[in-house]
Chains A and B, each alone.
Chain A
């Protein structure tokens, strides 16, 4: 049982104060959704927890099972069990996916994966996320479509098996099929490893697949409302207007054509 504890977190970017006191606690097995209008500070929260050098913590604390996360380097945070699926995964030309995955898994597990089973394991995970195994020989994220990048993030989530994962707009830019595949991946890892999930999203559509127990609304760098799943439904109807934002479902983001909830998606593994 692990807990990520965020207390009174204030974060600035280039002298501009973005987060103004965020309190949040995520434990193993829990699924939290953070929703909010564009620019409300959702990605800032994610990057600050992961340790991106651009973000300065001006006040507050983040701990993982009592250990001071803010005192750790970026890689130490990952090895401690945190994972950030990025809104915009970075291209690393010249570094192959297979080399990258192997190096990352070796670093996080503290030992190299067994040569005998490694190739098969990677292939399995990629296949489950409907990523052609030939991607293993391509450069990390280079020339990947938006959907392929997001699938690759979840491949990493599956292989690295963190304690707590932050998924930053993993749903953006995905068509319905890709959204389903990616959600399935998250739900599966959650069920198999009792993962704690902090799901950041602007839209409610991914919540049809990944059912949150807790919904937090962020606005202007603060969490301004909290509730259960019903809060997401309410946001879908009302939009972010009363939090200073626009509608939740825009015409550009089509509703899933199949209104299905994935098996095992509800409640998820507790």
Chain B
């Protein structure tokens, strides 16, 4: 269990905008010593860094289309492609260059879509590159679920536009087969007075490395990034969130809950928040809690808050990594509850708060069931 505490830095030079390029060759192949790559087991990326041929497929199906929601197949020259996301890393550039057909899901202006739109992305083996655009019009409101499963070596860019005064809840579930490699860049642009709530649920795969980022297009935007991660023996599950506050009076919350069990289970959470000079009156808080359930598992946690202005409503972070709380277990057991059951109660409780916030009932039930299954399989 490792927590690196970087100082909260106030003032100083503005962090330069991240280098972006659509040219793969602008990004050298990482050696593993780079800040961005030092936690990732590069050898297990299965050729994604080298731009392996797209010899596989991730089958995409969309379900729950109601009034005001459309799905379109798009090419690289579509005006929305690249409107939110420009590659900041080699694999993102490779995915950008490598996808053949992208998927655009549009929610019309002012449409209020009650039923969740579910996008299933099913890996059918081999290497694949994906591009998704989620475009929620001004004053619209919708819930979109990206449900990943199956076997794949998958590099993916997802661009998310939340229009002014709009509201989007995005749930991404990484329920991959054990051998899958998934590297995903999920970039959101949150409009003026808009609300973006996301739930990133990562349970499956051999190596999952997701980079959810948020920028704001105006003031009054509100972004919540919730994470639920459960790593088993041998899995590497890495989440690198970045909130870039460039506009005034916005709010951001990041809360990742991570449980690990088994030899070689490794999770990484990097929580970057940058508050630029112009972003006065913002309010940000990020939190990572790791619960280590057995020996041999490792959680890395690096919260990093850079303030270029002190004129903020609030700015803070917290990171904890702990084993089972012996006092809690003793208390439950002292009431006759067997140790195994007591441990399960504690793990369920650990995730209960985040699951309760997921606004889709069948997803809540499924996630609860999956946590049970993870516990079942572990002998915890």
How many interface residues does chain B have, given as a range? 20 to 34
* Shortest Cβ distance from A81 into B: residue: B336
* Shortest Cβ distance from B356 into A: residue: A94
Most A C-beta atoms less than 10 A away, residue of B335, B345, B346, B353: B335
How far is the CB of B325 from the nearest CB of chain A, in Å?
Answer: 8
How far is the CB of A199 from the nearest CB of chain B, in Å?
Answer: 18
Q: Are B331 and A89 in contact (CB under 8 A)?
A: yes
Specify which of B332, B336, B339 is in contact with A79 (CB 8 Å cutoff): B336
Q: Are B328 and A78 in contact (CB under 8 A)?
A: no
* Shortest Cβ distance from B327 into A: residue: A90
Q: Is A12 an interface residue (CB 8 A)?
A: no
Report chain B residues within 8 Å CB of A104: 332, 335-337
Q: Are A52 and B348 in contact (CB under 8 A)?
A: no
CA distance A84 to B346 in the complex (A): 21
CA distance A66 to B67 in the complex (A): 73
Q: Per-position contact with B for A94-115: 1 when CB-CB < 8 Å, else 0?
A: 1100011001100110000000
Q: Are B330 and A107 in contact (CB under 8 A)?
A: no
Q: Per-position contact with B for A79-90: 1 when CB-CB < 8 Å, else 0?
A: 100011010011
Q: Are B333 and A78 in contact (CB under 8 A)?
A: yes
Q: Are B332 and A100 in contact (CB under 8 A)?
A: yes
Q: Per-position contact with A for B337-359: 1 when CB-CB < 8 Å, else 0?
A: 11101100110111011000000
How far is the CB of B362 from the nearest CB of chain A, in Å?
Answer: 22
How far is the CB of B155 from the nearest CB of chain A, in Å?
Answer: 36
Binding site secondary structure of chain B:
helix
Considering the complex, which residues of chain A in the window 30-88 have a beta carbon less than 8 Å from any beta carbon of chain B?
A: 50-53, 73-75, 77-79, 83-84, 86
Q: Are A93 and B349 in contact (CB under 8 A)?
A: yes
Report chain A residues within 8 Å CB of B35: none
Specify which of B331, B333, B345, B352 is in contact with A73 (CB 8 Å cutoff): B333
Q: Are B331 and A75 in contact (CB under 8 A)?
A: no
Report chain B residues within 8 Å CB of A50: 330, 334
How far is the CB of B340 from the nearest CB of chain A, in Å?
Answer: 10
Q: Are B337 and A103 in contact (CB under 8 A)?
A: yes
Most B C-beta atoms less than 10 A away, residue of A50, A77, A95: A95
How far is the CB of A122 from the nearest CB of chain B, in Å?
Answer: 14
Q: Are A92 and B335 in contact (CB under 8 A)?
A: no
Report chain A residues within 8 Å CB of B348: 94-95
Report chain B residues within 8 Å CB of A75: 333-339, 342
Q: Is B326 an interface residue (CB 8 A)?
A: yes
CA distance A50 to B336 in the complex (A): 11
How far is the CB of B56 from the nearest CB of chain A, in Å?
Answer: 40
* Shortest Cβ distance from B352 into A: residue: A94
How far is the CB of B323 from the nearest CB of chain A, in Å?
Answer: 13
Interface residues of A (CB under 8 A from B): 50-53, 73-75, 77-79, 83-84, 86, 89-95, 99-100, 103-104, 107-108, 139-140, 156, 160
Task: Identify 18 new A-B residue pairs, CB closer than 8 A, beyond the known A73-B338, A103-B345.
Answer: A73-B339, A74-B333, A74-B339, A75-B333, A75-B336, A78-B333, A83-B334, A89-B331, A93-B349, A94-B353, A95-B345, A95-B349, A103-B332, A104-B336, A107-B336, A107-B337, A140-B331, A160-B335
23 A-B pairs, CB-CB below 8 angstroms? A51-B334, A53-B326, A53-B330, A73-B338, A75-B333, A75-B335, A75-B337, A75-B338, A77-B334, A84-B334, A86-B334, A92-B331, A92-B345, A94-B350, A95-B345, A95-B346, A95-B349, A100-B335, A107-B336, A107-B337, A108-B335, A139-B349, A160-B336
Lowest 6 A-B CB distances belong to which pairs? A94-B349, A104-B335, A78-B336, A90-B331, A107-B336, A74-B333
